[in-house]
């Protein structure tokens, strides 16, 4: 009896990782975000034992069309695209790729700290557009990063990596808010666990680095932005659904906040008519937290490992409890 199972790949994989799957299983490639492939995706669900991909909502309706499904291997660390209660009810394993994207994502978030504080994107445009005709005046000055207090909301792998960059690299006092204090020996004496109220009132820069759950959705609203220190900078490198974007816009336009650096949004890609796209106080990136050649390859490789291990009856490297 053959051990080959049916695998549905719903996001592009590197050729060598795809070949690993094809060597031991029957593989269908169908990206549901591509109109010409959407029908093939739903057809393949009916006999799929395993799914591998990312950036597509696998909800109860999708799962209902996959009666044989045993495992989903997500090429991501975030799991908010998956209907967790339905997966648990059916005993379907969900794997993801934590760890391999930690340092790259922390790099991206800290780059937003630098870019917003020193107005790098704005001033690069000043040069590109031919408006640099004399030494800049105070109206275009930025603000120092070193010595400023960084407040990190969420203190998992990425939050800790961000804290290392800030505290050890730039001499920034770091405070964080988490479900509980976290012991990180290399940061001993350099970071402090505080309440959310203290973090918002004290930090010069507030960075969100936590997962999107039903409890954290819309975490930052009018009251939270109003509680931030006047002139503070807001950074979101986690998930767009954590932020009430109208409240953020109000805080920026009122002058209460100095700037915002955003890699994620409630709707992605960011709609053309979104005020965040062209707001002069916003540095907006197209969700590039882990988007380097090296890291995306490592994520695909780990997701492939997870899927192969699960379908072989072994324990994958990273499953979601």
Structure tokens at 200: 């918002």
How many residues belong to the chain? 321
Measure the CA–CA gap between 208 and 278, rounded to whole angstroms.
22
Catalytic residue among 20, 164, 165, 287: 287
Catalytic residue among 239, 245, 258, 301: 239
Q: Which residues 6+ apart lie within 8 Å of 18 measured at CB? A: 9, 27, 29
179 flagged as catalytic: no
Measure the CA–CA gap between 233 and 146, rounded to whole angstroms.
14
Measure the CA–CA gap between 262 and 289, rounded to whole angstroms.
10
Helix and strand totals (H; E) in the chain: 13, 12
Catalytic residue among 253, 268, 294, 315: 268
* 93 phi and psi angles, rounded to 5 deg: -75, 145
Measure the CA–CA gap between 51 and 53, rounded to whole angstroms.
7
Around Cβ 123, how many Cβ atoms within 10 Å? Answer: 17
Measure the CA–CA gap between 155 and 193, rounded to whole angstroms.
9
177 flagged as catalytic: no
215 flagged as catalytic: no
Around Cβ 234, how many Cβ atoms within 10 Å? Answer: 28
* Catalytic machinery residues: 239, 268, 287
């Amino acid at each position: 009896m053959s051990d080959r199972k049916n695998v549905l790949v719903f996001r592009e994989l590197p050729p060598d990782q795809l070949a690993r799957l094809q060597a031991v299983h029957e593989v269908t490639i169908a990206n549901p975000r591509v109109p010409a492939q959407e029908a093939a995706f739903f057809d393949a669900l009916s006999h799929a034992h395993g799914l591998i991909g990312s950036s597509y909502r696998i909800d109860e309706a999708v799962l209902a069309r996959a009666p044989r499904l045993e495992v989903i291997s997500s090429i991501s660390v975030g799991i908010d695209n998956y209907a967790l209660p339905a997966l648990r009810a059916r005993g379907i394993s969900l794997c993801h790729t934590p760890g391999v994207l930690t340092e790259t994502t922390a790099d991206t978030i800290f780059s937003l700290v630098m870019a917003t504080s020193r107005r790098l994107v704005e001033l690069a445009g000043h040069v590109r557009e031919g408006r640099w005709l004399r030494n800049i005046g105070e109206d275009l000055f930025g603000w120092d990063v070193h010595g400023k207090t960084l407040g990190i909301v969420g203190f998992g792998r990425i939050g800790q990596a961000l804290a290392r960059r800030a505290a050890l690299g730039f001499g920034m006092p770091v405070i964080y808010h988490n479900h509980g204090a976290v012991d990180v020996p290399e940061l001993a004496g350099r970071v402090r666990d505080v309440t959310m109220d203290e973090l918002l009132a004290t930090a010069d820069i507030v960075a969100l680095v936590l997962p999107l759950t039903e409890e954290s959705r819309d975490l930052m609203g009018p009251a939270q932005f109003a509680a931030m220190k006047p002139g503070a900078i807001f950074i979101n490198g986690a998930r767009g659904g954590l932020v009430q974007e109208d409240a953020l816009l109000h805080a920026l336009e009122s002058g209460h906040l100095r700037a915002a650096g955003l890699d994620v949004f409630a709707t992605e890609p960011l709609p053309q008519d979104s005020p965040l796209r062209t707001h002069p106080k916003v540095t907006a990136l197209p969700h590039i937290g882990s988007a380097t050649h090296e890291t995306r390859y490592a994520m695909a490789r780990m997701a492939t490992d997870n899927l192969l291990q699960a379908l072989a009856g072994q324990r994958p490297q990273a499953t979601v409890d």
